[in-house]
Every structure is written in structure tokens, then in C-alpha cells.
């Protein structure tokens, strides 16, 4: 049994906040060895992600950096850049979300790294693609949500543009980057050669939004954008007699079963609702009758009725209720753990399982530079050299 499909792959992680750490978290969950190289002050998310027993171990940092080892290195120093170069020469993958100018100063470019490590996969997560006019502009999740049409799409439903209450663009781009990296590793198995990957947040999210909402503009330059079914104000959890329920009846079989469940079998032959296309054309009426019908019974009663009819439906849950869902405990996503410095905590396990991998036993998120000595020793530094680097502040000593 292996630790995961990426067991044996060494990843050098020069990322911070969410977009990069979400990418490298996925790689760690799939078995890769991830070395998180941080600035001497640490990843911003250590302090930006909420209070914790230790000021540099925020809840968000803990969840995004499980399964990684940490070493803090001062890349402004020549000796620090030498440490980076040695680690990069031994890595299979290097991931960064630094801006282009900073990467050039530090020598983190394909042209600089390839001669020493032609098998390296270099993944640069950028705000904007290097071929466009916005390249190297600063970007955060909210900037991309605003530019990509995501905030506008929410505004069509809420009445004014707004951001999603998640760093959604960071999450999605990080997942895209992890998939691109594994694709490049697969290509390397056949060719023996690494390659450079650029994953721009703006283009990734514009693609995400437009595949969903280009709509009639796909064919008609003057046509409307926005899928009216998804944009409908009633496309939301539906009120019941005592709460809410999430229901989705899309196929004819599901919709006709739904009509039976609500006591309206005649709607199966109503020309407004008798086919997928008809319900799409009349989505306002379809969603309205759905909402009116479900107010008649409590959530639990509807859930039982819909389950018997094989209609996709589950009770609505708050974030607090999500933490009490017994299913998530049964599958190991939620688990009680004890961090060596932060104490008792609720941890998040690996959501994806692999038949050829062992159980999810990733170590908990590290304190800043907790693995400095081990990482430097693994890179070939002697004990004396390691202590010299720590003493000169090139690499920060472990905290804890």
C-alpha cells in the first residue's frame, strides 16, 4: 500500500495565502512530499485566517497546510537564494504564486531552473496570463471575482454586485493548478522532460464563468448572457413548513416524480412542464410552483417523500450543522485531533479515496520553519552548515 498516487514526488511550495496552498494541499493529499518554503515572517495566512492558541497558526492556515513541512528562508540574501536553488534542483515540482518581477529577481524561471533540473515541473500561478496587458498586476481573490463576472452574476440574484463568502477564485484556480501539475508529471513519465506551466487566475475564472453563462452570445452577438435557470432568484434552498430543503428535479423522470409527490400529476402533461426544454423556457413558473408546494410540509417529511421517489433532495444545513453531520464523521472528513502546539482541534481529512493508497494519515500543519534542519539535511547540508545558516538568519530556526 502506498501513501497515495503521488507518493515519491517531491514538491517545493513557494506559495502563500490560499490559491497556492490549496493547490499544494491537493498534491499532499495525493501522496506528494510537500516542502513549504516560507519567508522569515511566515505565510500571511498564518495570521490572516483567524485567531488560534498561537498567533501564527490560524484556522485557515491549519486547514490549507496539512501534510506539509515548513522551512523559513530569507530569499533576499545570497545564501538564501542558494538554498532555494539547491532545493529546486532536487524537486520534481516547484509551485509559486509570486509575481513575475519577483520570480525573475530570484531566478525562479524556466530558463534558469531547467539546466540544473530538466525533469522539473515549474508551475506559476499568476493573477493574469503573461501574454496579456494585465500581466504582473497585483491580484487577490476579490479582484478576480470582480473582474471575471462572478460578482456580477451574484448581483443578478441579490440585486447588487457582491463577492461570494468564500475565496472561491483561489480555491478553483488552485484545483486547476494541481490538475495541470499531475498532467505534466504524467507527460514527464513518457518524455522524461519537465515543463513550465502558467495558471492565470483571471483567465481560469473567465473560462469558468463563460462556459456557464455565455449563453445566447455563443451564437448571437446581440443575444443575452446568463443562464436564466441558474440566475433565477428562486434557484435557492426552498422554504418548507419548518425550514428549508435543497431539491433538484432536472430530468423528465425526476420532474414527473416530483409532480406526483406534490399531488399535481396533471402537470406531467402541461405543455409548460412536459419536457426538459419546456421547463427551461418556463423556469419562472416551474420554480414558483415548486416553492409554493413545498411550504405545505416540514423538511424531514419532504426528504422522506423525495427519497422514496428517487428525487435528488437533502435538508438544508448551516455551517454549524455541517460540523454535526454524522456522515462526515463516518467517512473521515471530520476528525478529532490534537495538534502538538495548538491542542485539541477538529481536523479535515482527505475527501478523495484511492483503492491503492493507505489511510489518510497526513501530519498536521507545521509551525513556522519546524522542519528547517530536516529539510536542509535532506538537501545535503552538513550539520555545521545547517547551524551556520540558522545562526546567520538565512533560515529561521524552528518555532514551537
Q: Which of 211, 220, 204 is nearest to 153 (CA)?
A: 211
Contacts of 108 (CB under 8 A, 6+ apart): 14, 84, 88, 94, 96, 98, 122
**In which band, very low, low, confident or very high, does the pLDDT at 157 lie, cut at 50, 70 and 90?**
confident
Read off the pTM.
Answer: 0.95
Q: Distance of alpha carbon 250 from its chain centroid, rounded?
A: 27
| pLDDT score recorded for residue 3 | 82
In the chain, % of residues over pLDDT 70: 99
Q: Which helix (H) or strand (E) holds 124?
A: strand 121-126
What radius of gyration, in Å, describes the C-alpha atoms of the chain? 25
Same domain, residue pair 70 and 178: yes
Average pLDDT over residues 30-56: 96
Per-residue pLDDT of 255-275, as tens digits, reads: 999 999 999 999 999 999 999
The answer to whether residue 335 scores a pLDDT higher than 80 is yes
Do 249 and 257 touch, CB atoms closer than 8 A? yes
Whether residue 65 is found in the same domain as residue 197: yes
Cα–Cα distances in angstroms (integers) from residue 86 to residues 13, 80, 96, 275, in the given order = 14, 10, 16, 62
pLDDT of residue 125: 98
DSSP 73: B
CATH number at residue 273: 3.30.1540.10
Which residues does 23 contact at the CB level (< 8 Å), separation at least 6? 15, 95, 123, 125, 173, 174, 175, 177, 178, 181
Please indicate, yes or no, if residue 225 is contained in any of the structural domains. no
Query: Quick one: pLDDT at residue 398?
Result: 87
Domain identity same for 30 and 155: yes
Domain-embedded: residue 214: no
Asked if residue 290 and residue 353 are part of one domain, the reply reads no
Residue 352 CB burial class (10 angstroms; 0-12, 13-18, ≥19): exposed
- Residue 14 DSSP symbol: E
Task: Based on the fold, state whether residues 60 and 165 are members of the same structural domain.
Answer: yes
Q: pLDDT (tens digit, 9 = 90+) per residue, 194-213?
A: 999 999 999 999 999 999 99
Q: Which of 319, 343, 26 is nearest to 328 (CA)?
A: 319
Cell of 136: 504582473
Are 99 and 137 in a shared domain?
yes
One domain for residues 79 and 116: yes
Q: Give residue 350's pLDDT.
A: 94
Domain total of the chain: 2
On whether both 383 and 256 belong to a single domain, the answer is: no
pLDDT of residue 158: 87
Residue keyed to cell 515572517: 41
State yes or no: pLDDT of 85 exceeds 50.
Answer: yes
Q: Residues 56, 32: contact at Cβ < 8 Å? A: no
Beta partners for residue 159, in sequence order: none
How confident is the model at residue 388, as a pLDDT?
A: 97
- The packing angle between helices 168-191 and 201-213, to 10°, is 110
* 88-108: pLDDT as tens digits: 999 999 999 999 999 999 999
Range of the domain at 279: 238-315
Judgement on whether residues 165 and 273 belong to the same structural domain of the protein: no
Using the predicted structure, report yes or no on whether residue 164 has a pLDDT greater than 70.
yes
pLDDT of residue 270: 98
Question: Do 158 and 106 fall into the same domain?
Answer: yes
Query: Helix, strand, or coil here: 239?
Result: strand
| Residue range 95-150, pLDDT digits in tens | 999 999 999 999 999 999 999 999 999 999 999 999 999 999 999 999 999 999 99
The predicted structure's pLDDT at residue 1 = 39
Contact 167, 141 (CB under 8 A): yes
Domain boundary (261, 294, 315) is at: 315
Residue pLDDT, tens place only, 272-308 = 999 999 999 999 999 999 999 999 999 999 999 999 9
Average pLDDT of the residues of the chain: 96
| Residue 272 and residue 196 in one domain | no
Out of 269, 290, 315, a domain closes at 315
The DSSP symbol for 391 reads: H
Q: Note whether 305 and 332 are same-domain residues.
A: no
Is 224 within a domain?
A: no
Q: Given pLDDT bands bounded at 50, 70 and 90, which one contains residue 400?
A: low
Estimate the share of the chain in helix, then strand, then coil, as percent rounded to the nearest 5: 45, 15, 40
Among 301, 4, 19, 274, residue whose Cα is nearest residue 145 = 19
Amino acid at each position: 500500500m502506498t501513501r497515495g498516487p503521488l507518493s515519491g514526488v517531491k514538491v517545493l511550495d513557494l506559495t502563500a495565502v490560499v490559491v497556492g496552498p490549496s493547490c499544494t494541499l491537493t498534491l499532499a493529499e495525493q501522496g506528494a512530499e510537500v516542502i513549504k518554503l516560507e519567508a522569515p515572517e511566515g505565510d500571511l495566512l498564518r495570521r490572516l485566517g483567524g485567531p488560534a492558541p498561537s498567533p501564527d497558526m490560524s484556522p485557515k492556515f491549519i486547514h490549507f497546510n496539512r501534510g506539509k513541512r515548513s522551512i523559513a528562508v530569507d530569499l533576499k540574501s545570497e545564501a538564501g537564494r542558494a538554498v532555494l536553488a539547491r532545493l529546486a534542483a532536487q524537486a520534481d515540482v516547484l509551485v509559486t504564486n509570486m509575481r513575475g518581477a519577483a520570480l525573475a529577481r530570484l531566478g525562479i524561471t524556466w530558463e534558469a531552473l531547467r539546466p540544473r533540473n530538466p525533469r522539473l515541473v515549474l508551475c506559476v500561478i499568476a493573477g493574469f496570463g503573461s501574454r496579456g496587458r494585465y500581466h504582473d498586476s497585483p491580484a487577490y481573490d476579490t479582484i478576480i471575482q470582480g473582474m471575471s463576472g462572478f460578482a456580477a452574476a451574484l448581483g443578478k440574484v441579490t440585486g447588487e454586485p457582491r463577492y461570494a463568502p468564500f475565496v472561491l477564485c483561489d480555491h478553483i484556480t488552485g484545483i486547476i493548478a494541481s490538475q495541470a501539475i499531475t498532467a505534466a508529471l504524467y507527460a514527464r513519465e513518457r518524455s522524461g522532460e519537465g515543463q513550465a506551466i502558467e495558471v492565470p487566475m483571471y483567465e481560469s475564472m473567465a473560462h469558468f464563468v463563460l462556459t456557464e453563462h455565455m449563453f445566447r452570445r455563443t451564437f448571437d452577438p446581440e443575444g443575452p448572457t446568463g443562464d436564466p435557470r441558474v440566475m433565477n432568484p428562486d434557484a435557492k434552498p426552498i422554504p418548507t413548513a419548518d425550514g428549508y430543503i435543497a431539491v433538484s428535479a432536472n430530468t423528465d423522470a425526476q420532474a414527473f416524480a416530483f409532480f406526483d409527490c406534490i399531488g399535481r400529476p396533471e402537470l406531467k402533461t402541461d405543455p409548460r412542464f412536459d419536457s426538459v426544454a419546456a421547463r427551461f423556457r418556463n423556469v419562472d413558473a416551474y420554480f414558483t410552483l415548486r416553492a409554493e408546494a413545498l411550504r405545505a410540509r416540514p423538511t424531514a417529511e419532504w426528504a422522506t417523500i423525495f427519497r422514496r421517489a428517487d428525487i435528488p433532495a437533502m435538508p438544508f444545513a448551516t455551517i454549524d450543522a455541517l460540523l454535526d453531520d454524522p456522515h462526515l464523521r463516518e467517512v473521515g472528513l471530520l476528525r478529532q485531533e490534537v495538534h502538538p502546539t495548538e491542542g485539541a482541534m477538529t481536523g479535515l481529512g482527505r475527501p478523495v479515496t484511492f483503492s491503492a493508497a493507505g489511510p489518510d494519515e497526513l501530519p498536521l500543519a507545521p509551525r513556522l520553519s519546524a522542519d528547517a534542519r530536516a529539510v536542509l539535511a535532506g538537501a545535503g547540508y552538513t550539520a555545521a552548515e545547517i547551524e551556520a545558516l540558522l545562526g546567520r538568519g538565512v533560515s529561521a530556526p524552528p518555532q514551537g
